[in-house]
Amino acid sequence: MRGKWGGGAALAAVAAQVGPAVTWLPAARRALAPGLAGRGPRGGVALTFDDGPHPEATPAILDVLDRLGWTATFFVLGEQVRRYADVATEVVRRGHEVALHGDAHRYLIARTPRAARDDLHRAFDTVAALTGQPPLWWRPPYGVLSGPALVAARGLGVRPVLWSAWGRDWRSAATGESVVADLERGEVDGGMLLLHDSDLTSDPGAWRSTVAALPLLAERLGAGGLAVRTVGEHVRR
């Protein structure tokens, strides 16, 4: 009997650890946790960037956003904020929102509950201290959730959000045109768009396709009458 109950407890622990990761799949996300897609009111999109700050990519993207008159949300990594604190503070100075992507860009389901908690807490403290803007939103690395990380995020008061459309701008073959085409394959109107302002986990220099995509995206969104918002403007907490 002890063995039977022990096995059940182990299975329950595994399910709690890896079960939430299924929401990485768009179909599972829509069925099980539609709020994770970051859907907001139609007539606009939430524009988001992951994996920064980066000393070249982030300033280049900020300059394009300035020219377009857009504000966006940057899901930053704690270790990158400590490395490039001046870039992180510039994101906030220019009126953008910073959100949490974790401390190190590692799969949370491969980490112990304590390691996952420590990662989120260290990242949160870093971002709040160095930017002066405590994060309200959290997107896990690779968009893969774990049970312990969700518990830690709740304790910090940050809400998990993933995306409804991505530009696959991490590929060496990506171009401005391909990034916009990939975004348009997802849910755009009322959706959350995922791009990157770093090549930390992408092919070297892939962020240049993101920079090239933004003016093209502006044409498409403008033609559809869609406004660009931060996550905080787009999604109700």
Catalytic residues: 50, 196
- Looking at residue 29, its amino acid is R
Residue 89, Cα to own-chain centre: how many angstroms?
18
Quick one: tokens of 214? 């933004």
Look at strands 137-138 and 159-160 and give their pairing.
Answer: parallel
* Calpha distance 54→228 (Å, rounded): 22
Look at strands 192-196 and 159-160 and give their pairing.
Answer: unpaired
What is the SS3 assignment for 70? coil
Contact of 170 with 23, CB cutoff 8 Å? no
Quick one: tokens of 222? 């403008």
Sign of the Cα pseudo-torsion (199, 170, 73, 75, in order): negative
CA proximity to 80, closest of 52, 102, 41: 52
Look at strands 137-138 and 73-76 and give their pairing.
Answer: unpaired
